[in-house]
Structure 1
Amino acid sequence: MADLRDFTKTLPQAAQTYLENRRLDEVECIISDLPGIARGKAVPASKFARQQYFHLPDSIFYQTITGDWGEAADEDGFIEKDMILRPDMSTTSAAPWTADWTLQVIHDAFDRDGAPIPFSPRNVLRRVVEMYHKRGMKPVVAPEMEFFLVARNLDPAHAIKPMMGRSGRPAAARQAYSMTAVDEFGPVIDDIYDFAEAQGFEIDGITQEGGAGQLEINLRHGDPIKLADEVFYFKRLIREAALRHDCFATFMAKPIEDEPGSAMHIHHSILDIETGRNLFSGPQGGETDAFFHFIGGLQKHLPSAIAVLAPYVNSYRRYVKDHAAPINLAWGRDNRTTGIRVPLSGPESRRVENRMAGMDCNPYLGIAASLACGLLGIIKEDWPDKQFKGDAYAGEPDIPNVMGEALNVFEEASDLHEILGSEFCRVYNIVKRTEYEEFLQVISPWEREHLLLNV
């Protein structure tokens, strides 16, 4: 990569189109940490063309969302060892919101011996995908991203409010699928489309969801790592588009009281590597054992994975009866009240939708955990409960309802640890427990209002 012109000629087509007749100024070398925040370095384009890797300390994976540190270092101690970060050039993408001509490149993390860092989220997902490949299976996913556009919130003590729409009125709730409601956010959505086009991403659709200022973006199905990269990128581009229009985009699971939460629904199917056939459908189009085992695995193992799919204390505020989020792991056909849904489809596109993951989860880890549960079901030949018919919101919860309980279940899930990697699970558990203990030291307005003078 010694010559800048040679380097740019090898980029994905969207990046080449973005740079056409322009001079590349800078390259952002990035990697996802445990929360899904982009960490890394920005370097001049000429320097990037000459370098094959760069270094970051492994401690980026020990940080909590507040910036504190979990004591998760290995036997060498907390010495902040340098990792070797190598670019995956297939992920090269524009950063169209920047003042100059900038590209982003996602990197993979290795230790000094060349082994993948086991608690790097992209490596965790790759580990799970490779386990499918070793069994002759190719997993396919399609994420759905829900998020809120809200008014700028500069004081955390103040409640989050919906953004002001184009009409000059705050965004209204309970207008699901309304085109008028989508038009309220037209300028922001226009920038989202423009940024996505510059980055080479294909949006399958944007709809208004049930919350005030809540939108959903659907992505086309594909390779799990590629789609996780896109969600990782999308979170950043959506935030940047919102900032251009004096509002915030938030991916909190439950940002506004009495409004629905935001999910990252994950659609799954599995193909036979040799034939390309959907393994959820038999020769005559019927549902296969693999289809039922995948659902059985989700039902059996998702409670252990909830700490990954719902990674913050706020995540559990989403799992509330009758607030457009599942509370149990019932499965049903074309039933959006169940935690596991089988959408209407033909045999070739038969898929299983996991509706439990919050949009606040790290996309690499959320997809990895969901695929891991399904794979365990296939390996162990788990059978699901009888198909649920009716309103599953009326049922009883099947999942932990607070972060501490979810971590306890996750810590004991040895089967899940074997799929995700024991070292990742160890680090994740320590970091999340540190984060939870930080939260428990904060006294909330509810406690001051109702306990200060009454108990």
Structure 2
Amino acid sequence: MVRSLIEKLPEAAQAYLAHGKLDEVECVISDLAGVARGKAMPGSKFAKQSHFYLPNSVFLQTITGDWTNIPGMAYTEPDMVLTPDLSTATAAPWTADWTLQVIHDVNDQEGTPVPTAPRNVLKRVVALFEEKGLSPIVAPEMEFYLVAPNTDPAKAVEPPMGRSGRRAAARQAYSLSAVDEYGPVIDDIYDFAEAQGFEIDGIMQEGGAGQIELNMRHGDPVRLADEIFFFKRLIREAALRHNCYATFMAKPIQDEPGSAMHIHHSVVETATGRNIFTDETGQDSVAFRHFIGGLQRHVPSIIALIAPYVNSYRRYVPDFAAPINLEWGHDNRTTGLRVPVSGIASRRVENRLAGMDCNPYLAIAGSLACGWLGMKEALDPAPEFEGDAYNSNEGIPRTFGEALPLFAEATEVHEVLGEEFCRIYSAVKETEYSEFLQVISPWEREHLLLNV
């Protein structure tokens, strides 16, 4: 049974198991936060079963582990049916035994995709393009920090100790020497990625102390979201091997730049592969302009997806390597929507607003939904911005409390992402925000306790 299973796996997984016996399989799905949920089982048992069950309450859990109460919903916690998508099977090369991870499809007991499962939300959006004979293409960029171990939440996060015996320095963007300071972690990231069959387009030092950017190849949105989902765990495991943490918080260190997940978008004709963002003369097409128009119109409504926590909004600081606007421009990194230098076949727009703390399935789904609505509604963008866009009107919510009502009221976006998902997501995030508002911060104690 195990041998017949292995023959169905991707090439990288087969190559990994060529050196050992399959001991364990981790059956995983993403919850709303992007946390891996599921169960592990012996490889021999996994080979014999076609599915397993988890309660639908998985998608009602907040990042703190609490549960959301939704008026009118009966809390009977019916089981969902989880079926392995063997095309996602990949190694877990940091484990002591021979372990695979497999992402599962999530359906109800009648076989209908569960609308609150983040992967299903992204599949729903991609299907809208496919119905028109189109294929959306994305290329994500991942930014993250390596930081010193931090076991006390009251203690500020610090950069990691490098091989020189000094802590990682800030303002060293693109420095190869800075990357070499934590070279062993980078080496393990490369090794783990190779074992898992993932292609890294490049790794570089970013502007923060211990901040790294990892670029990925372009491709199918669901496959790339799967890889980011896996990459987060891969990177955390590589860091732990070398006495440091990897964090994907949007703003983990005060006075340092935040971490983004920039999303490059293009759309091609499925039958021909032609990039519809380029017209017959080789210039920006009408569809391209409408896609940008949709991002400008609707991104404020989905900020709660791409900046999903109170900490996310600490990243939106003027002149701090993060856009705070909805302007667009060619080769202009001060705009929220940047058109990179590219050839005719690779013309694309980069959404620079998403934070790395997002759920990759939901952030990509939300961004694609905005572009889709722009093409559907033939929305023209504002004039291209020339110069420093930090001087423009901001145009985006600056707090989580502002973002949540915009998402809750975005009926056009709800039609694309799914009404049930949007209702549940809003309720979960409102619960998280309410919990946060009960916390008294060190700043409040320092400046208010004896002075007001």
Q: Which of 296, 304, 309 in structure 2 is aligned with 1:299? A: 296
- State the 1:396 CA deviation: 2.5
3-state SS of the aligned residue for 2:139? Answer: strand
The equivalent residue for 1:278 is 275
TM-score normalised by length of structure 2: 0.99
The equivalent residue for 2:48 is 50
User: What are the equivalent positions in structure 2 for 1:87-166 lying under 5 Å apart?
Assistant: 87-166=84-163
3-state SS of the aligned residue for 2:365? Answer: helix
CA distances 1:421-444 after superposition (whole Å, capped 9, x unpaired): 000000000000000000000000
CA distances 1:371-422 after superposition (whole Å, capped 9, x unpaired): 0000000000000000001111122211111111100000110000000000
CA distances 1:55-98 after superposition (whole Å, capped 9, x unpaired): 011111100000001114864x1121110001100000000000
CA distance in 2, matches of 1:308, 1:295: 18
The answer to whether structure 1 residue 290 and structure 2 residue 293 are counterparts is: no
Q: Which of 4, 18, 27 in structure 1 is aligned with 2:2? A: 4
- Structure 2 unmatched ranges of 5 or more: none
Opposite residue 7 of structure 1, the aligned amino acid is L
CA distance in 1, matches of 2:400, 2:263: 21
The answer to whether structure 1 residue 181 and structure 2 residue 165 are counterparts is: no
CA distances 1:322-364 after superposition (whole Å, capped 9, x unpaired): 1100001000100111000000011110000000000000000
- State the 1:249 CA deviation: 0.1
Pair 1:27–1:12, CA change in 2 (3 A): same
Q: Which runs of 4+ in 1 moved over 2 A?
A: 72-75
- State the 1:116 CA deviation: 0.4
The equivalent residue for 2:379 is 382
CA distance in 2, matches of 1:73, 1:216: 42
The equivalent residue for 1:372 is 369
The equivalent residue for 1:243 is 240
- State the 1:166 CA deviation: 1.1
Q: Which of 45, 58, 62 in structure 2 is aligned with 1:64? A: 62
Q: Which of 301, 304, 315 in structure 2 is aligned with 1:318? A: 315
Opposite residue 48 of structure 2, the aligned amino acid is R
Q: Which of 263, 274, 287 in structure 2 is aligned with 1:266? A: 263
CA distances 1:251-302 after superposition (whole Å, capped 9, x unpaired): 0000000000000000000001121100000122111100000000000000
3-state SS of the aligned residue for 1:264? Answer: coil
What's the C-alpha RMSD, in Å, of the aligned pairs? 0.8
Opposite residue 39 of structure 1, the aligned amino acid is R
Q: Which of 79, 83, 86 in structure 2 is aligned with 1:82? A: 79
The equivalent residue for 2:341 is 344
CA distance in 1, matches of 2:261, 2:254: 19
CA distances 1:88-130 after superposition (whole Å, capped 9, x unpaired): 0000000000010000000011111110000100000000000
Opposite residue 20 of structure 1, the aligned amino acid is A
Opposite residue 136 of structure 1, the aligned amino acid is G
CA distance in 1, matches of 2:236, 2:72: 35
CA distance in 1, matches of 2:334, 2:68: 37
CA distance in 2, matches of 1:72, 1:388: 43
Pair 1:198–1:74, CA change in 2 (3 A): farther
User: What are the equivalent positions in structure 2 for 1:324-335 lying under 5 Å apart?
Assistant: 324-335=321-332
CA distance in 2, matches of 1:146, 1:329: 21
3-state SS of the aligned residue for 1:270? Answer: strand
Q: Which of 350, 357, 380 in structure 2 is aligned with 1:353? A: 350
Deviates more, 1:274-283 or 1:241-250: 274-283
CA distance in 2, matches of 1:283, 1:186: 46
Opposite residue 127 of structure 1, the aligned amino acid is R
The equivalent residue for 2:409 is 412
CA distance in 1, matches of 2:381, 2:163: 47
The equivalent residue for 2:33 is 35
3-state SS of the aligned residue for 1:271? Answer: strand
CA distance in 2, matches of 1:71, 1:136: 40
CA distance in 1, matches of 2:30, 2:102: 11
Pair 1:166–1:415, CA change in 2 (3 A): same
| Aligned length in residues | 452
TM-score normalised by length of structure 1: 0.99
Pair 1:333–1:55, CA change in 2 (3 A): same
- Structure 1 unmatched ranges of 5 or more: none
The equivalent residue for 1:26 is 24
